Amino acid sequence: MKLIVFIMTTAFSVAFAAGGEGHHAEGVPQVVLWQAINVAIIFSFVYFKFGKKIMESFKARNALFMNEAEKSQKIQQEAEAKLADIKHKIRHLENTANESIERARAEAADMRSQLAQEAKQLAERIKHEAQSAALVEIQNAKRALHEEVVNESVRQAKEILKKDVGQSDQQRLQDHFTSEIESVRLGAKA
């Protein structure tokens, strides 16, 4: 608007300065003056007819541009915040990676020592059970040997008694010896 007023004022000043004296040597030629007036009238007509629409269009485009600029700025800020968060997480992972590796190594060492201790306990238990089983077998073997010795002794005693002792003595001694052996046998089993 100010531009149009400036152009019209300038054009009219030039027209008044030219004066109507008819000599063309000085000032602006009259054709140029009329052309300037025509241009001013056209600009004035366009301004008054379409000026508000053009201004509204520029304002709307400006508002749209500003809105898009704000959206893009928000998106950029969100992206920068996400980037900063990701960088923070990466730094945290890098910092804790060594810590996690050390923790895993410590856990592996603990498991290794626990397994070694369990294996040692198992070996001790197996050794103890083997010793117990060996003692039981030894006792069983002693009993069996003792019974065999007793049986063999009884058999040999019977043979000796048959040869050296008479029938009645033999029967009495045999009964007495058998009862003694049986009592020894029962005492050994207990």
Average pLDDT of span 117-137: 91
Q: Which residue has the higher pLDDT, 157 or 30?
A: 30
pLDDT for the residue 120: 92
Classify residue 172: in a domain, yes or no: yes
Classify residue 127: in a domain, yes or no: no
- Per-residue model confidence as pLDDT tens digits over 47-87: 888 888 888 888 999 999 999 999 999 999 999 999 999 99
- Per-residue model confidence as pLDDT tens digits over 79-111: 999 999 999 988 888 888 878 888 888 999 999
Model pTM?
Answer: 0.34
- Structural domains counted in the chain: 1
Long-range contacts of 154-159 (CB under 8 A, 24+ apart): 154/178, 154/181
25 pLDDT band, cuts 50/70/90, is low
Classify residue 107: in a domain, yes or no: no
pLDDT for the residue 30: 86
In which residue are the tokens 């290794």 written? 112
Least confident of 13-27, 81-95, 118-132: 13-27
pLDDT for the residue 118: 92
Average pLDDT of span 9-31: 62
**Can you give the residue range of the structural domain that contains 162?**
138-189
Classify residue 145: in a domain, yes or no: yes
E strand or H helix at 177, and its extent?
A: helix 167-189
Q: How far apart are the first and last CA of the chain?
A: 133
Question: Rounded to 5, what percent of the chain is helix, strand, coil?
Answer: 90, 0, 10
Classify residue 100: in a domain, yes or no: no
Classify residue 43: in a domain, yes or no: no
Q: Is a pLDDT exceeding 70 seen at residue 178? A: yes
17 pLDDT band, cuts 50/70/90, is low
C-alpha span between 143 and 55 (Å, rounded): 125
Cα angle for residues 119, 124, 128 (degrees, 5° grid):
150
- Which structure tokens are listed for 66? 């500003």
Classify residue 167: in a domain, yes or no: yes
- Per-residue model confidence as pLDDT tens digits over 139-170: 988 888 888 888 888 888 777 767 765 667 66
Q: Is a pLDDT exceeding 80 seen at residue 5? A: no
39 pLDDT band, cuts 50/70/90, is very high
Classify residue 123: in a domain, yes or no: no
- Which structure tokens are listed for 91? 């730094």
